[in-house]
Amino acid sequence: MRSTKLYQYQLPVETGIILRQRRLKQREGFIVHLLDNGRSGWGEIAPLPEFSHESLADVEKELRHWLDIWQSGQSEHLDQYSPSVAFGLSCALAEIEQTLGEKGNYQTAPLCYGDPDELYAKLNQITGEKIAKIKVGLYEANRDGLIADMFLEAIPDLKLRLDANRSWTLEKAVQFASKIATNRKHRIQFIEEPCRTPELSRQFALENQLSIAWDESVREPNFLVKKEPNLTAIIIKPTLTGSIQKCINLIQQAHQQGIIAVISSSIESSLGLTQLARFAHQYTPNTLPGLDTLNLMQYQLLRPWQGSTLPLATLDSEFIWDI
């Protein structure tokens, strides 16, 4: 006996996060609850504006279609559906099938949007491996370089992940690199997509002895995981990528070639984020995931993130409703 429930949610977002061109005022998506012979599974489907290609309306249609089929006892290959749908449904199914472990990796790389004092405060709370992630390319490249180098100098056991989201010209990227002391460059674990194109990012990395990671590239058609000089990691954002199985394939291809796979957030609610923490614990146990986005929201949804003091919105709250 199978039954399903579909909910929609809307959560207010702290001060309005800027995604590419757009200011996000609220995070919206769907929640599915699947029941199968007394077993239960939850999934969050939340396409990210400016990043996902599917709209909320597309997602609702796909979900209703899949839920009908599943309820009648059939199944369909999830990766025919939009990535956010495939990921959320695969989480719900994995909970039913008990293939997603309970234990999560809640130690994530603290994320800094440019205020050094804020990052100092966060770093002081870390007990394990000191890795932080700084968004670069939002301000002057020289300034980004000075700040990154200052952190590396001030905290000798710190490693940095930087994320430029393809924003630099080669010249800007070189300006950034010129501010990093040569003997500290190896403590930049990677820069995600420094330049406008992958070709320029490769050239930049080689010429400036810096490591890079693919993020946007991973989601381009025909992407293949391939070791290349100076490439240390690929970033996997499951909501933008697809089913758990598709993400596992990418992780395995990376690991076989000695490339780090970093599980990263697409600003899901605490429901999706805790599932990502569990997924990361299970499939990338030696890597700190990039999931420090819960505090962009004013509430958690249905499940608490370990250690978070944000209020928890439940099914009877104003933020979630049946559809």
Ligand X SMILES: O=C(O)CCC(=O)c1ccccc1C(=O)O
Q: Using DSSP, how many helices (H) and how many strands (E) does the chain show?
A: 9, 13
Numbered residues of the known binding site for Mg(2+): 163, 192, 215
For 249-279, b/e burial (b = at least 16 CB within 10 A) is ebbebbbeeebbbbbbbbbbbbbbbbbbbbb
144 binds ligand X (CB under 6 A): no
- Sole binder of ligand X in the list 133, 172, 219, 281 (CB under 6 A): 133
The active-site residue out of 133, 172, 237, 246 is 237
How many chain residues bind ligand X (CB under 6 A)?
Answer: 14
293 binds ligand X (CB under 6 A): yes
Query: Look-up: residue for tokens 């994530």?
Result: 108
- Sole binder of ligand X in the list 232, 264, 269, 282 (CB under 6 A): 264
Q: At closest approach, how far in Å is the CB of 236 from Mg ion? A: 11
Q: Are strands 2-19 and 320-322 parallel, antiparallel or unpaired?
A: antiparallel
127 DSSP assignment:
-
- By beta carbon distance, the residue nearest Mg ion is 215
Whether 29 and 11 have beta carbons less than 8 Å apart is answered as no
- What tokens does 164 get? 């430029």
269 binds ligand X (CB under 6 A): no
For residue 182, count other CB atoms closer than 10 A to its CB. Answer: 9
- Whether 172 is catalytic is no
Alpha carbons 42 and 93: distance in angstroms, whole number? 8
Contact string 162-181 vs ligand X (x = CB under 6 A) = -x-x----------------
CB under 6 A: which stretch of 219-227, 249-257, 275-283, 285-293 binds ligand X? 285-293
Helix H or strand E segment including 240: helix 238-241
- Whether 227 is catalytic is no
Whether 225 and 258 have beta carbons less than 8 Å apart is answered as no
For 19-50, b/e burial (b = at least 16 CB within 10 A) is eeeeebeebbbbbbbbebeeeebbbbbbbbbe
Nearer to Mg ion, 149 or 163 (CB): 163
CB under 5 A: which stretch of 35-43, 114-122, 164-172, 274-282 binds Mg ion? 164-172
- Residue 109 site contact among Mg ion, ligand X, none (CB < 5 to 8 Å, cut-off depends on kind): ligand X
Alpha carbons 106 and 241: distance in angstroms, whole number? 21
Numbered residues of the known binding site: 163, 192, 215
44 binds Mg ion (CB under 5 A): no
Nearer to Mg ion, 44 or 215 (CB): 215
Question: Among 63, 54, 85, which residue's Cα sits nearest to residue 242?
Answer: 85
Nearer to ligand X, 32 or 294 (CB): 294
Instruction: List all residues 6 or more positions away from 27 whose beta carbon is below 8 Å from its beta carbon.
Output: 10, 11, 13, 46, 267, 269, 297
Nearer to Mg ion, 17 or 310 (CB): 17
- Sole binder of ligand X in the list 41, 88, 137, 290 (CB under 6 A): 290
Nearer to ligand X, 36 or 193 (CB): 193
- Residue 211 site contact among ligand X, Mg ion, none (CB < 5 to 8 Å, cut-off depends on kind): none
**Interface with ligand X (CB under 6 A):** 51, 109, 111, 133, 163, 165, 215, 264-267, 290, 292-293
Active site amino acids: 135, 237
